[in-house]
Amino acid sequence: MKKLLKLMLVMMMALTIAGCSGESDKQTILIGISPDYPPFESLDGNKMVGFDVDMTKELFKIMNDKGGNYEYEFKQMSFDAISTSIVSEQVDLGISGFTYHEDWKDVIWSDKYNDSKQVALVASDSSIQTLDELKGKNIGAQLATTGENCAKEIEGANVKSVKDVKVLVETLSSGGIDAVILDEAVAKNYAKDAKYKVLDESLLEEENMILAKKGNEDLIKDVNKALKEFVNSDKYKELKEKWGA
């Protein structure tokens, strides 16, 4: 009886140790995110919400169901700091409505998870009706975005680049700038407010992707496998409709 009891205690200890080891072996992925870009990511009080937030939950669930041992944490930072934080290994992934930047040489990109385009948001009472009428105007854009690049290509434009999109939209509302260049989904989100409208033409067609540092190809490979399953799922369609992304 004593031998049996000792054997049972040994087995229980082994299972406990194995369980603890499994938890400690989890790979924590730090994700850089800038929650000022609804509907992709924004703050609702202290809670972070948006399409990218919900997508991340789904991706890691798929990755773990496929044999991964991941957990993740979001690290809030300004959009322009995410790519440099990835290169300096302060975060592992960037998930924040990113579109491809050809000049970012030290990062790798996932497959696309969404089609996107850069458009102009103007005040609803603005006389500006076409992209051609943006020439020589005061244009706002988020720092380190493709929208900023588009704004700088507008002939004669005086470009104001800031870190926070909310600041740009507030400046547009007060008349400090004539237009803001934004991702279409973000612009349409603001245009729900009758104070703003989106011009019909687009400045750039592009795609949303996830980024990581060069050398993290195994992680991006797992992300891409999960993206493929996610994008082909009903959950993807549900979240697209939910957030208007």
Dihedral angle of Cα 23, 29, 34, 35, to the nearest 10 degrees: -30
Amino acid at 85: S
Do 175 and 227 share a domain, yes or no? no
Count of domains in the chain? Answer: 2
pLDDT of the residue at 24 = 55
109, 216 contact by CB (below 8 A): no
d(Cα 112, Cα 131) in Å, to the nearest integer?
Answer: 27
- Dig out the tokens for 218 from the structure: 């195994």
Predicted pLDDT of residue 123 = 97
- For residues 162 and 5, which has the higher predicted lDDT (pLDDT)? 162
pLDDT tier for residue 216 given thresholds of 50, 70 and 90: very high
Task: State the CATH number of the domain containing residue 147.
Answer: 3.40.190.10
pLDDT given for residue 192 in this prediction: 94
pLDDT, tens digit, 9 for 90 and up, residues 49-104: 999 999 999 999 999 999 999 999 999 999 999 999 999 999 999 999 999 988 89
Q: Is residue 233 part of a domain?
A: yes
Please, which pLDDT band fits residue 23 given cuts at 50, 70 and 90? low
Provide the residue range defining the domain that includes 221.
Answer: 26-114+207-243
pLDDT bin (cut points 50, 70, 90) of residue 10 is very low
Residue 49 lies inside a defined structural domain of this protein? yes
Look at residue 9 and tell me whether its pLDDT is greater than 80: no
Whether residues 238 and 164 share a domain: the answer is no
Same domain, 201 and 211: no
pLDDT of 163 strictly over 60: yes
Q: Which residue has the tokens 């930072």?
A: 77
Q: What is the DSSP string of 16-79?
A: HHHHHHHHHT-EEEEEEE-SEETTTEEEETTEEESHHHHHHHHHHHHHHHTT--EEEEEEE--H
Asked if the structure places residue 40 within a domain, the reply is: yes
Closest alpha carbon to 28 in 62, 79, 81, 75: 75
Domain shared by 101 and 124, yes or no: no
- Mean pLDDT in residue range 19-44: 85
Is 108 found in the same domain as 31? yes
In a domain, 3, yes or no: no
The mean pLDDT value for 2-14 works out to: 47
pLDDT of residue 43: 96
Mean pLDDT computed over every residue of the chain: 91
pLDDT at 25: 86
